[in-house]
Chain A
Amino acid sequence: MALSEFLQFLISGLTVGFIYGAVALGFTVIYNASHVVNFAQGEFVMLGGMFTVFGISLGLPYLVAAILAIALTALIGVLLYEFAIRPARGAPVFALIIITIGASILIRGLAQVAFGTSFFSLPSLAGDTPINIAGAVAQPQSIVVVVGTLAMVGLLALMMRRTMIGKALIAASNDLVASQLVGINVRMIVAMSFAISAVLAAVAGILITPISLVSYDIGVLLALKAFAAVMLGGMGKPAGALIGGILVGVGEAMTAGYISTDYKDAAAFVIILVVLCAFPNGLFGSEHHERV
């Protein structure tokens, strides 16, 4: 009984954990290309889910609605870069923090007007027959989430290694000035990183909506949890982000299961505070020296 209970918490933790991981990966892509921490990342998750819900309600087939939603979210990501981040390039960190938080409030506020304040759901992609694993019950959609996230991460890794755009992104992450010198269009590359990270988040949003529903205001908490994941994994480390996401998800599910459901969201904050204070560079992060 105790084991199946534990397994149950583990399954639900892993499910949301993969989502946090995907969003955290999006953070990492943008951070590596531009050193901007995009606090509006959670809003992309919301937009992915919302656009799909509304595409379907307009009579579009699931797949078409999902692709449109992903494309629209990517477009919003690029617009965010072009109209809010790029004009402020070279600004101090606090200004960029305030800009991306402003963007998150703006997107959230518009979504509230456009979609209302209710919760929406999507049908599960793998049916509704629960799967029994050693006494614990898994929703089939959980498997879709895990497989979908892993496939997406695999694709991203492939793209980074095999395509020109991916290589240019890696080059830009290593040294912005040098990559400019060898003829990489940095503006295009950073815009691309916003698009990629919006796509990651939008897909995550579409995958998780059948399980945890979507409403206009899910973004802030998601961004915060993904940020906790990034902290755990070390800023700028893609694999770390994914692992961090899974750890935050499992930590949250265990808190909900064994301590209190009221405070399950607190798990992420406690992780943030403890990790930040004990390991300022993340668990897998490298020492950072400030240049004077």
Chain B
Amino acid sequence: MSVFDTVQRVVGNRLSLILIGAMLLVLPLLMTSSFQMRLAVVVWVYAMAAIGLNLLMGFAGQVSLGHAGFFGIGAYSVALGPSQLGLSPALSLPAGIAFCGLLALLLGRPILKLKGHYLAVATLGLGMLIFMILSNEVELTGGPDGMRVPRVVIMGWKVKGTETWYWITGIALLISVWLALNLINSPTGLALRAIHDSEVAASVLGVDVARYKLIVFVISACFASAAGGLLALYNGHITPGVSDFLVSVQLVTMVVLGGMGSVGGSLVGAALIIILPQFLTVMHEYEHAFLGLIMILTMVFMRSGIVPSISKAIRSRRHDSNS
């Protein structure tokens, strides 16, 4: 890797942070209804979870079809923390993230030994198991009806209103992007990319493959639970639906549609998957069929995803004009 590559990457990282920051600042000026702002909050939250999943899929090359399970754990911990442990909602969020990370650490060790289809099925099963627990433990979680999430109160200030949450989730997204970019450019990120290219080659080079896979699995679970917790705090109510298999599928689609290995891509993917169905209100009942179709079309025609495809096209054009 040349010095120029490194410079370009650092500048590129700064640039993507600045771009996302600018977008966060400008968007509220363009929005005309609170509905649009609501939608933005949901996009930021899902983008966070998608970025976490992208670290696992795009950089370590491991598929997870159960990330909605971690999303659900995060969401329920902000409801259960106050009602069961007497924690404040604001404290329940980091507690939930920590719990989720610990769970991922314990479960990840055996699960990540698996590859390909086996890993996909094991994570799918894990996600469904979490969904089942959330729906069946009625005494604890309220069952399919869900439960109320108390408002966050920080030093007497009640955190409420869509605009407030726009900023909170927006900043959380910015922090997630920053963390993800830092991780990618750290030695851990390099090791992960080596694993993605070839696990055998990476282990020959002295990369502790199992350990790095576990690290990124735990990190991506933490991202998902943070996102789930924020969504629950914003909505004030949650149902087991947050951890449904379809949500896991949505997250995977966001990652592959935006582009595996592209942090900005996950934001684009999340925006498209959340916003597109709103425009296609006529087609509302076809929402799931549409999601399935997007998955197939992306994998058949644009396997590297939107953002990498576009940047590749731009780069090759620049290359052409230079020569």
- CB pair A263 B132 closer than 8 Å: yes
A105-B249 CB under 8 A given contacts A88-B300, A113-B286, A266-B129: yes
Q: Is A143 an interface residue (CB 8 A)?
A: no
Q: Is B294 an interface residue (CB 8 A)?
A: yes
Q: Among A93, A103, A104, A273, which residue has its beta carbon within 8 angstroms of that of B117?
A: A93
Q: Min CB distance, B299 to chain A, in Å?
A: 5
Which residues, 34 to 60 on A, are CB-close (under 8 Å) to B?
Answer: 37
Please tell me which stretch of B81-89, B118-126, B170-178 contacts chain A, meaning at least 4 of its Cβ atoms lie within 8 angstroms of it: B118-126
* Bound Cα distance from A268 to B124, whole angstroms: 12
- CB pair B116 A98 closer than 8 Å: no
Most chain A CB atoms below 10 A, which of B125, B132, B294, B303? B125
* Bound Cα distance from A221 to B291, whole angstroms: 19
Which residues of A sit under 8 angstroms from B129, Cβ to Cβ? 266, 269
Question: Can you name the residue of chain A whose Cβ is closest to the Cβ of B301?
Answer: A87
- CB pair A87 B300 closer than 8 Å: yes
Which residues of B sit under 8 angstroms from A268, Cβ to Cβ? 125
Q: Is A122 an interface residue (CB 8 A)?
A: no
Q: Among A108, A112, A280, A290, which residue has its beta carbon within 8 angstroms of that of B114?
A: A280
Which residues of A sit under 8 angstroms from B198, Cβ to Cβ? 292
Which residues of B sit under 8 angstroms from A109, Cβ to Cβ? 286-292
- CB pair B132 A266 closer than 8 Å: yes
Most chain A CB atoms below 10 A, which of B121, B201, B256, B286? B121
Question: Can you name the residue of chain B whose Cβ is closest to the Cβ of A264?
Answer: B132
Which residues of B sit under 8 angstroms from A96, Cβ to Cβ? 299
A112-B200 CB under 8 A given contacts A269-B126, A276-B122, A277-B110: no
Q: Is B98 an interface residue (CB 8 A)?
A: no
Q: Is B45 an interface residue (CB 8 A)?
A: no
Question: Can you name the residue of chain B whose Cβ is closest to the Cβ of A99?
Answer: B299
Which residues of A sit under 8 angstroms from B288, Cβ to Cβ? 105-106, 108-109, 112
Q: Is B128 an interface residue (CB 8 A)?
A: yes
Q: Is B191 an interface residue (CB 8 A)?
A: no
Q: Is B211 an interface residue (CB 8 A)?
A: no
- CB pair A273 B110 closer than 8 Å: yes
Q: Is B210 an interface residue (CB 8 A)?
A: no
- CB pair B300 A99 closer than 8 Å: yes
- CB pair B122 A273 closer than 8 Å: yes
- CB pair B285 A105 closer than 8 Å: no
* Bound Cα distance from A75 to B62, whole angstroms: 33
Q: Mark A265-292, 1 if CB is under 8 A from B, else 0.
A: 1101100110011001000000000101
A220-B132 CB under 8 A given contacts A102-B294, A273-B110, A273-B111: no
Give the size of the chain A interface in residues (CB under 8 angstroms): 43
- CB pair A102 B295 closer than 8 Å: yes
- CB pair B292 A98 closer than 8 Å: no
- CB pair B111 A227 closer than 8 Å: no
Which residues of A sit under 8 angstroms from B285, Cβ to Cβ? 112-113
Q: Is A159 an interface residue (CB 8 A)?
A: no
A276-B118 CB under 8 A given contacts A94-B57, A263-B136: yes
Q: Is A177 an interface residue (CB 8 A)?
A: no
- CB pair B299 A95 closer than 8 Å: yes
- CB pair A97 B117 closer than 8 Å: yes
Q: Among B57, B114, B201, B289, which residue has its beta carbon within 8 angstroms of that of A110?
A: B289
Q: Is B160 an interface residue (CB 8 A)?
A: no
- CB pair A37 B289 closer than 8 Å: no
Q: Is B263 an interface residue (CB 8 A)?
A: no
Q: Is B63 an interface residue (CB 8 A)?
A: yes
- CB pair B292 A104 closer than 8 Å: yes
- CB pair A280 B292 closer than 8 Å: no
Q: Is A144 an interface residue (CB 8 A)?
A: no
Most chain A CB atoms below 10 A, which of B110, B201, B245, B296? B296
Which residues of A are in contact with B by a Cβ distance under 8 Å? 37, 84, 87-88, 91, 93-99, 101-110, 112-113, 220-221, 224, 227-228, 231, 262-263, 265-266, 268-269, 272-273, 276-277, 280, 290, 292
The 6 closest A-B pairs by CB, nearest first: A102-B295, A109-B289, A106-B292, A109-B288, A105-B292, A269-B125
27 examples of A-B residue contacts, CB within 8 angstroms? A84-B296, A94-B57, A94-B63, A98-B256, A98-B299, A102-B293, A105-B288, A105-B289, A106-B295, A109-B288, A109-B289, A109-B290, A109-B291, A109-B292, A113-B285, A113-B289, A262-B132, A268-B125, A269-B128, A272-B125, A273-B110, A273-B111, A276-B121, A277-B110, A277-B114, A280-B113, A292-B201
